[in-house]
Amino acid sequence: MVARKEFTDHLHSGRFVSLAALLAVVAGAAVFAASRFIRSVAVETEGVPALFLKIFTFTDDPVPFPLVVFIGFLGPLLGIMFGFDAISGERSQGTLPRLLAQPIHRDEVILGKFVGGLAIIALLLTSLTTFVAGIGIFRLGLFPAPTEIARLLVWLMVAIIYVGFWQALATLTSVTVRRAATSAMIAVGVWIVLTIFGGFLFQALSAVLANPDDESSSLRAELLISRLSPFTLYTETSTVLLDPTQRTTGLVTFEQISQALVSNLSIPQSLLVVWPQIVGLLAMTTALFAIAFVLFMRQEVRA
């Protein structure tokens, strides 16, 4: 019940409308640009595997960012927007004591907030993906093969979990911090640090932890550390899921590649490659929410 109210609240809220409009415009623009390139490629080459999916991942001039990268960078903002005032908003509106005095379980409040927000996020992401796919189909006359649709759907779920991570983070800050604005700032701060300074941070950390002289081991360490960031996990997963020719996410030496045959992975095989990433992402999201949950349940009620 709480979830339903949250969902309809968000649906009617200003932030949803403006965000949806913004996303549609930007994503649409990217797709139009991509479609020009793909049309030229499609004419030249037959048999580029999973051409349809390239719409989502293509990254070259003049397209600044395809949908996948777009969500990778701005998805967190989306997640944060629907989580940052989950509990602090109730507090500032003074509705929390009244809500908790109703015959509902206390956990339903925080679960409902999260589920309601996640539902909106899922709605937005799905619409966006469908929108982009639609443009691809109509502009290019490219029709996705069933395997491509399947990959797209799996990727969509991962994208939702990824954005859900940030929503969980924002929910956590909204539980612990009184003012909604502060909670938003903390969450956004984490996002900026991880996403923009992430590469630098990981390099620095790996220099500390690994032997800086041995290049391969320090690179490996850097990769390992970067896997703690949801952004990395998401990017790796998306790359493999949406491109059947991608089959590793680790370091490979030139020698290893040069003799490899180009072949396509089937969906289960692709999944297997990034299974650890997906699980990791899911685990981190769940852990964040669990902390928020426990903290909320133990908090004193004072308005």
Partner 1 sequence: MAAPTVVTRKLTKEYGEARVVDELDLRLLPGEVFGLLGPNGAGKTTTILMLLGLIEPTSGQVEVLGLDPTRNPLTVKSRVGYLPDAVGFYDSMTGFENLRFTADLNRIPAKEARGRIEQLLFEVGLAEASGQKAGEYSRGMKQRLGIADALLKRPEVLILDEPTTAIDPEGVADILAMIRNLADHQQVTVLLSSHLLHQVQAVCDRVAIFVKGEVVAQGSPRDLASRTRGPEEVELVTTSNESILRRSVDGRRFVHSVAAGRLPGSYMIEVDRGATRQLVAALVEGGVEIDAVRRASDDLDEVYRRYFRQENVSV
By CB under 8 A, tell whether 299 contacts partner 1: no
Using the rule CB under 8 A, which residue among 64, 97, 134, 212 binds partner 1? 97
In terms of CB distance, is 260 or 303 closer to partner 1? 303
In terms of CB distance, is 5 or 36 closer to partner 1? 5
Minimum CB separation of residue 9 from partner 1 in Å reads 7
In terms of CB distance, is 91 or 151 closer to partner 1? 91
In terms of CB distance, is 62 or 94 closer to partner 1? 94
Minimum CB separation of residue 234 from partner 1 in Å reads 33
Using the rule CB under 8 A, which residue among 45, 61, 62, 94 binds partner 1? 94
Scanning residues 98 to 117, which ones bind partner 1 (CB under 8 A)? 98-106
Scanning residues 211 to 270, which ones bind partner 1 (CB under 8 A)? none
Minimum CB separation of residue 2 from partner 1 in Å reads 8
Looking at beta carbons, which pairs linking 284-291 to residues 24 or more positions away fall under 8 Å? 284/165, 284/230, 285/161, 285/164, 285/165, 285/168, 285/230, 286/168, 288/165, 288/168, 288/169, 288/171, 288/172, 289/114, 289/168, 289/171, 289/172, 291/172
In terms of CB distance, is 61 or 105 closer to partner 1? 105
By CB under 8 A, tell whether 301 contacts partner 1: yes
By CB under 8 A, tell whether 95 contacts partner 1: yes
Site residues for partner 1 per CB under 8 A: 1-2, 5, 9, 12-13, 93-106, 300-301, 303
